């Protein structure tokens, strides 16, 4: 009678080594898996181990600010109080303001008169806060700005909680494609036809902006768009160059991607897709963090726990404890099977598990505990 081979343990993700060597850590994955908490815990651990660190979040729920004792986060890095700086490190935190970042780019790279015209343009005001991919692109713009200052040894990025990995990785390329597209040539060309005919031509090549255009009502729509594109034309080269520089930065030595997932089928499926896409793009993958894992330190199977509970029905408390233990063992076993599927499909990806916390992480002490678990965690697919 043949038996299935026991799963081989995945290589362990050495978090402390990544925190020592990386210049940029990008935490990515689907929403709701503890990505923001993981990014904050990594940043805090790096800072308290002597690195000048900044963590950039795109999480609108402001959980990062709360966990770091800050009343608010904005587009400017703010020092986190309570960090142990005895080893020479420091920690700043900030939350991306998409429109403000776009405004800063305009002010920095356009002539004053044109910058004023762009910022006042109704189409720009809608574009800077509504265009698909703007948030992801502006996150990368801000990453490039932070890295270029030289003020930090490590930049930790908490990426947008997008359901599709393509949104994040394609953002720079999407903007470059837009800037090089036929649509721009149409908008820059003088109107040689009647208003209705011109509108028809523009609409045919402008489907990508449908969501934005519906927010701009009135006969001046085309004029606003044309004026915006004409004013922005001198900046196109800079956008293209920075988009390519950002993409190159993501692939450069010193950058590492950390994929975060929960031990659930959908989250691990998303993580697998992200890992595969990073490999296709030749992006440097550090490994996978499996967050909120349930563990059992008691060597008592679910079956034996239930059998003992039945024998102790007259002892309500003991029976309830045994049944609770049985449920936890079953949950842990189910999570382990899901992880084993991932590690079997991606045997070379380093993995580390982080235990489920008893409550929400809302302060530096909680982040330290998560960071310690990240550094001292163990590989997935442990042999039975």
- Residues 320-362 pLDDT 10s: 555 565 667 777 888 889 999 999 999 999 999 998 887 788 8
**Surface-to-core class of residue 24, CB atoms within 10 Å of its CB (0-12 exposed, 13-18 middle, 19+ buried):** buried
* Torsion on CA atoms 255, 261, 267, 273, rounded to nearest 10: 20
Please state, for a pLDDT cut of 90, what percent of the chain lies above it.
32
The fold of 15-296+334-376 is: Rossmann fold (3.40.50)
Q: State which of 104-113, 187-196, 220-229 shows the largest mean pLDDT.
A: 104-113
Q: Report how far residue 299's alpha carbon sits from residue 6's, in angstroms, rounded to the nearest whole number.
A: 19
Evaluate if residue 148 carries a pLDDT over 50: yes
Domain ranges of the chain: 15-296+334-376, 302-333
**234 is written with which tokens?**
């001198």
SS3 state of residue 168: helix
Evaluate if residue 231 carries a pLDDT over 70: no
Q: Does the pTM of the predicted model rise above 0.95?
A: no
Evaluate if residue 156 carries a pLDDT over 70: yes
Residue 93: name the closest of 150, 34, 28, 158 by CA: 158
Q: Which residue has the higher pLDDT, 189 or 154?
A: 154
pLDDT (0 to 100) of residue 305: 47
Q: What is the mean pLDDT of residues 91-99?
A: 88
Q: 367 near 40, Cβ under 8 Å?
A: yes
């Amino acid at each position: 009678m043949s038996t299935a081979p026991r799963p081989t343990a995945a290589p362990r993700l050495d978090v402390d080594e990544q925190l020592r060597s990386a210049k940029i850590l990008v935490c990515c994955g689907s929403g709701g898996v503890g990505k923001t908490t993981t990014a904050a815990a990594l940043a805090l651990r790096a800072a308290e181990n002597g690195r000048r660190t900044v963590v950039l979040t795109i999480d609108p729920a402001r959980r990062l600010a709360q966990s770091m004792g800050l009343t608010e986060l904005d587009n400017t890095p703010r020092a986190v109080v309570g960090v142990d700086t005895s080893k020479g490190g420091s920690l700043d935190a900030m939350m991306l303001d998409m429109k403000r970042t776009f405004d800063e780019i305009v002010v920095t790279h356009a002539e004053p008169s044109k910058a004023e015209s762009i910022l006042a343009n109704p189409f720009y005001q809608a574009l800077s806060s509504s265009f698909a991919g703007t948030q992801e692109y502006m996150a990368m713009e801000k990453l490039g700005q932070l890295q270029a200052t030289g003020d930090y040894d490590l930049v930790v990025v908490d990426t947008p909680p997008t359901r599709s990995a393509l949104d994040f990785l394609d953002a720079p390329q999407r903007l470059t494609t837009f800037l090089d597209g036929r649509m721009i040539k149409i908008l820059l060309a003088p109107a040689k036809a009647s208003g209705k005919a011109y509108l028809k031509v523009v609409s045919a090549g402008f489907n990508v902006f449908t969501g934005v255009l519906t927010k701009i009502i009135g006969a001046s729509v085309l004029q606003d768009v044309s004026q915006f594109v004409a004013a922005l034309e001198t900046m196109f080269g800079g956008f293209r160059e920075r988009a390519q520089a950002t993409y190159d930065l993501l692939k450069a030595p010193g950058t590492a991607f950390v994929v975060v997932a929960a031990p659930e089928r959908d989250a691990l499926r998303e993580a697998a897709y992200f890992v595969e896409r990073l490999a296709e793009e030749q992006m440097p993958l550090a490994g996978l963090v499996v967050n909120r894992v349930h563990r059992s330190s008691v060597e008592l199977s679910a079956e034996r726990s239930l059998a003992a509970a039945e024998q102790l029905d007259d002892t309500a408390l003991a029976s309830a404890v045994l049944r609770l233990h049985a449920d936890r063992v079953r949950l842990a076993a189910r999570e382990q099977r899901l992880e084993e599927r991932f590690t079997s499909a991606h045997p070379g990806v380093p993995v580390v598990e982080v235990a489920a916390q008893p409550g929400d992480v809302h302060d530096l002490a909680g982040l330290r505990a998560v960071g310690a678990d990240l550094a001292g965690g163990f590989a997935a697919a442990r042999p039975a």
